[in-house]
Amino acid sequence: MSAVPPKPVLISGGGPVGLIAAYALAKEGIPSIVFDENSELQEDPRAATTHPATLELLAKLGIVDQVIEQGLTAAIFRFWDRPTGELIAEFDHALLKDDTEFPFVVQCEQFKLTHILLDLIDGMDNCDVRFSHRVIGVDAGEDEVTITVQTPGVNEQISGSYLIGCDGGRSVFAKKWISPLKASPGPNGFWS
């Protein structure tokens, strides 16, 4: 008798967090499906500085060398006041040399990281990334979760073992459907 294959983990959002989650799961042999509402990876610069703790995480996943290769390393990190040109603060990461393998930051825009991840995921058969798929609803049961996904043509319902909400800092989705602390909107009608 063949074993029933596990239902995939569903991941809402294909930014750096969603793709890292998918890649980490795939490396452990756990299938997943990533849904992103955009038609392709975002190319806006946004996050550029990757700090030591994140570099350690990327090292565990075996991709830190690619990130370092595509970025610029800097041991010294400075904050400047733009109008006056005054130096506000300076952090010398070399001071962390006994605490981390990576006593520096790497300036590598997040779109470069997502491309590295997507290329790796594309070569794996247990992870599927679906662009132009917006998650619009979730129904969590005892043993599985079912999401409603809006695609250009049609709405689909897809079931998985878990749902990971990686749909960004402005995630209406996480606030509305995931947060156990906020089961209904506030008196002003907004989810806070």
Whose Cβ is closer to ligand FAD: residue 31's or residue 106's? 106
Q: How far apart are CA 172 and CA 161, in angstroms?
A: 22
Which tokens sit at 34?
A: 């990533």
Least Å distance between CB 165 and ligand FAD? 9
Nearest to 35 by CA among 185, 157, 189: 157
Least Å distance between CB 15 and ligand FAD? 2
Whose Cβ is closer to ligand FAD: residue 118's or residue 187's? 118
Q: In what order do the strands lie in the sheet with 105-107?
A: 49-50, 105-107, 72-74
Whose Cβ is closer to ligand FAD: residue 46's or residue 60's? 46
Q: Are strands 32-35 and 127-130 parallel, antiparallel or unpaired?
A: parallel
Give, as one character, the DSSP assignment of residue 97. T
∠ CA 125-129-132 to the nearest 5 degrees? 155
Least Å distance between CB 1 and ligand FAD? 37
Q: Which residue is nearest to ligand FAD (CB)?
A: 15
Residues that bind ligand FAD (CB under 6 A): 12-18, 35-38, 42, 46-49, 110, 134-135, 166-168, 173
Whose Cβ is closer to ligand FAD: residue 47's or residue 124's? 47
